[in-house]
């Protein structure tokens, strides 16, 4: 095994462990297992990506990996954006409820016009 392969596999394992602890939904776990499950064989057998790429009409394996990376990134961007919006909505609700719970009364409270 090349030294670069050892290094990449160690990094992938560390990443997988970290993501596993960070994200706990089964859907996310499945996704990360799938990613690492594809990445490790590709590191061990770099030529495999060439074979798959040629089979689908793409010139090089590296190009195929790059295209998949772009698609995954876009997917990740979309899900993150919707999650942020959801958090924003929840935060807004929380801040508004808190504000409504504690109105500050005017200092002229009880005078003629109030």
Partner 1 sequence: MLAAPSVWIVIPALNEARTIGEVVAPLRAHGWRVLVIDDGSHDTTAAAAQAGGAVVLRHAINLGQGAGLRTGFAFVRAQPEARIVVTYDADGQHQPESVATLLGALEQSGADVALGSRFLDPAASREIPTSRRALLRLATLFTRATTGLRLTDAHNGLRALTVEAATRLRLTHNRMAHASEILSEIARLGLRYVEAPVTIRYTDYSMAKGQRPLDAIAILWDIFTAGLR
- The CB-of-105 to partner 1 minimum distance in angstroms stands at 6
Choice between 73 and 96, CB closer to partner 1:
96
Residue/partner pairs of 63-70 with CB below 8 Å, 24 or more apart: none
Choice between 56 and 105, CB closer to partner 1:
105
CA separation, residue 24 to residues 18, 33, 66, 78, 83 (Å): 11, 13, 27, 19, 15
Choice between 1 and 102, CB closer to partner 1:
102
- The CB-of-25 to partner 1 minimum distance in angstroms stands at 21
Sign of CA dihedral 52, 57, 62, 64: negative
- The CB-of-106 to partner 1 minimum distance in angstroms stands at 5
């Amino acid at each position: 095994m090349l030294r670069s392969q050892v290094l990449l596999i160690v990094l992938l394992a560390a990443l997988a462990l970290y993501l596993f602890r960070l994200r706990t939904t089964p859907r996310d776990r499945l996704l990360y297992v799938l990613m690492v499950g594809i990445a490790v064989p590709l590191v061990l057998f770099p030529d495999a990506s060439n074979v798959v790429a040629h089979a689908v009409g793409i010139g090089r394996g590296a190009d195929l990996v790059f295209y998949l990376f772009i698609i995954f990134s876009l997917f990740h961007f979309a899900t993150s954006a919707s999650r942020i919006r959801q958090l924003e909505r929840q935060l807004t609700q929380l801040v508004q409820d808190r504000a409504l719970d504690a109105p500050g009364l005017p200092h002229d409270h009880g005078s003629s016009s109030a």
